Structure 1
Amino acid sequence: MFKHSIRSRLIALVLLAAVIPASVSVIFSYYFTRESVTRQSIAQNGKLLSLGAADLGNYFEGIDQRASSVYSGINVAGSFYTAILTAKNASGVPVSDTALPDNRHIMSSQLYNLYTADRSIFQIHLFIRSIRQSNTLLAGQFRQETNLTYRPQDNPDGTNRPFVEPAHPDHQYGVKSGFSNYRPGITPVFTLHYPVYKTPSDEILADLSIDFKLSELENISAAMYNAGTERLYIADERGQLLYAQGDGWVGQPLSEGWSGLPEDKESGHFSWRDGNFQGIVLYQHVDTRLFQGYIVKLVSYDELYTDARTITGINTGIGVLLVAVAGIAGVLISISFTRPIKKLIAYTQRVQIGQLGAHIEPVSEDEFGLLTRKITDMTRTINDLILNEYRLEIANKTNELKALQAQVNPHFLYNALQSIASLSLRLGAPKIYDLIYSLGSMMRYSMTTNNPLVTLAQEAEHVENYLILQQERFGAENLSLTLDLEERIRSMIVPKMILQPIVENMFKHAFPDGVQDVRIEIRGRLDEERRLLITLQDNGRGMPAERLEELRQCLDEEALDGSDEEGIGLRNVLARLRLQLGAGCGLLLESSGAGTRVTLVIPRSLEEPKEEEQ
């Protein structure tokens, strides 16, 4: 009998409902989190390697530019290049009555200038082939001697182009002279080998070799990987290492099993599993004039899936807890299941026959008690909503009536002004008629709300009406308007009221000493990108640089100080432009002692208005 009871069925159902979803959730959560973390890590590391390759390219470009400075001063007596050239052929320099000077001073000073141009330079060696002379600068010490044993390093690709030799221990290039406080073979360096040609031929005059410490490579690499959990390698196309983390790699080739990277791809990734490494191998090709190779980054699965395992452990703990709680809850709920449900059935029957004010007291504080209260609250809410619906309908009728009244008043005022204007004509006062017509046109333009967009011609006419009234106030001799709009832009659509607020701002702030000889210019055109540019300029006092910068910052901020009326007006215009025509709209401010210029930039406009105002 027990196994057929509601209690046993409910307990079994609750346990199954908790165990199955929890188990499935834990399994799917683990695999989904692992795949999500992998995709995210690949995307992020791909960006890091791409940026690192760009930084590395910039670094090698800077090295190339510094090395090419050896060609400065061609055919100039006393220059670095001339000193190298004269060592081969003295007739290549300007002829004078004096003997050719010793090149030691020129060599030492020019090499020192090159040495101080980059703090990562460890040693510079210039070998002049014609006289087999080594010029070496190391730790600020210059040595010059004949070197019969040195052989210039050949480019591995068989050409005479400059190239970078991968990391190796430093050496003295066969120079016999000693350097104080220096022991060769201690410092790891990479070397730029730069042949110096006799321009414009392909004859090589000298071989410039610059040893660089690995500090700058370490700085570039540090931004691309986590030294504690990841590995990074920079190697040339032959697998020779330019940089790697740790010790013991200098002079060693990249011989790991995963080092056979695809040659037909600039960047990518692949999974790798062997006895030494299991994880993701990411690579980025580097192609510069001096160096061609790859940046390789290794991310192990252990590090990659740490977060996934942590999240899975948390989910498993939560799942076990839910199963235990579900079992206990199933027992407790089944014990008090029957009595509360009967009371709820009786209550719903009373509601069904229309007794919405009926009430039931919960017999317990468990889920059934909560359900009882929620059903009671729901019934009360339904009753309140029915009453509120009647009140809302009455309020809507009232608001509709007020809206109709509000529409009548502007039309009444406008019609009254028209009647007064007609009377002024009959009484022989055309000036008054013009003023009343301008005022009425402004009222009608401002009060028409059925379309927030107008043509540029309509907006310009509104500004002209505004200035006609201002001319009557201050005198036409004290106020002039220049309106210059290209014909093809007059039909373009713009938001209503974007020009008049700016002109009104000019009256308020640009002429504190009174309106005298005021000139306002409004010009509109399309630029080469087919953006609509509207420029408003006055001849007022302008504004200080601090105030100009303050207004520009206000235009960039989301909120403005309510006391700054000028900033609010400009921000209002910019906000409406962006709201109605797109985020690409802009407002530019310029000011000097001769006035202020406001430029509206509207990149998207329509040729015809969507709806003509009535």
Structure 2
Amino acid sequence: MKYRSIQTRLIQFMLAVTTIPLLLSLFITFTHTRESVKEQTVNENVRLIYQGATNLMNYLRGIDRASLSVYSDPHFLRNLALDPDNYRVIAELYATLQAIQTGTQDVHQIYLHNDLTGQSTQISSNLPRREFRQAPYRTIEQFGQGNTAIEPVHQVHSYGFPPRPADILDFEVITFYRSITNVPSPDQYALMAIDVKLDSILAICDQLYAKEEEQLYLIDDNGSIIYSPDPAQRGQYLNDPELMNVIAQADKGYYDGNDAMIIYEKLDLPYAPWTLVKQIPHQTLYKNSTELTSINAIIAIFALLIVIFGTLWISIRITKPIKQLTSYMNQVKTGRLDVNIDVTSPDEIGVLSRRFRNMMDTINNLILREYRLEIANKTNQLKALQAQIDPHFLYNSLQSIGTLALQHNVPRIYSLLSSLANIMRYNMRNSEAKVTLQDEINHVRLYLELQKQRFRDQLEVIWELDPESLTAPVPKMILQPIVENYFKHGMNTHAGVGLVSISSRISEDSRLIVVIENNGSSIDEEELALIRSKLAAAYDHYDRNDNGNDSIGLLNVLMRLNLYTNNNAELIIENALPHGVIVTLNINAWESEQ
């Protein structure tokens, strides 16, 4: 009833018409903002990565042009073929290599191996060194194909020359290799290796991402990391098979990964198959849209609170007179026909209240006298019926017989007579329409004690009672008729020990569940269906002609349960396996108290 009230429905309606549009607006705004921010961010970073790749290519082309300057020296190729001990030849080779070192940015040292004479030369900031070797320290085929190649990031070394105290070897470089040939002949005269510091590459890459929010990698086609925000990762391999697979299929593009947006661009250089990779975490990518959605959500919650407050205030103003009138009706329902209905509101509810008050005055004037007279007549009839047999006389007589049994030392007879007397006394409590479940259980115990005297070892009783359920109020005499049906119709002494099980508990929705089970004969299916149809019909009406004499039957029990619980009770009967009958009572016991 509470959930069908005008106040509840008004609140639900106001919340619905307010919450649904707000939530829909938040969802659309959030989705549109995310997509807009995603598209804008991707476009900006695609252009940024393209510019970064262009700057890197220009930088590497500068080193490539510097390495080609040996062909501009008319004496360089000739000197490679001359006597390596000729000091003029040595001086001219040194001069050309030093010009490349000093004239090119970030060049740390140059190594040259003359294949014609076997002489290896190292040019650095210190004095140049040379020695004769059968093969160069590194070959170009180790890092690529063609006349040029680049060795990935590695620790700087002295190309096999003995270390000197002035050498600085605690930083990383990349090495640019060039095969020097006698053009147009493909025969290699010498191999030149240029060690390039990472300063310019780091400077270019540092401008392409936001530190602590994004990640940027410069990797070669094998996944070796040339640049990373974490210096410890440089020279290592990037463990991302999905990214390497995507890069292998296209020269540039982007895709949405599990945790970040990935944007990549390859350098268009045959000797530097490098790829710039930028990772933008979703948290960073959607930061602005999340903040905007949070602001909108706060505004929406504030507006929703205002709506709820306003709805409650309006609904209370509307429903308070209705609740007051309902209270008056409940008093009339309990029999107070002279209740004073005092609702003074000038609206439609006030008019309805005044009309109801006039109706009650008319009812009082027309039927109150006849109603009270009828009640008095029924009371007199009940007293007359009770006077026909004085139950106190029977009770006192049983007590006298019990006393005599004790005098003759027969305590079992006294116990049985006491049980019978207590059963009669329980039945004589006519002033109590409702009792606790504990009282009903005690009554059934007495009844079963008499039955055990009759059947002795052929009857077994099992009790499984939840202590919390024993305080539940129930109509009087609802269990004993059900148990009695077992002894009337179901008990079969030839089939073994008879079993009666009685259990009670309180369900999760605060209802009283009582289960009475026996192992007697099962009910025929057609008869069981007929009983169930009668029980179902009993929920709607009670036909006195059909059931008036069945005062102790299941229909009578169900009728009294519904009478005291406002039709909020169930009686379920079913056959047990392999034989027997189970009767379940499902009662909203506490509602019957109200």
Q: TM-score normalized by structure 2?
A: 0.48
Report which of the two has the higher share of helix.
2
TM-score, with length taken from structure 1: 0.47
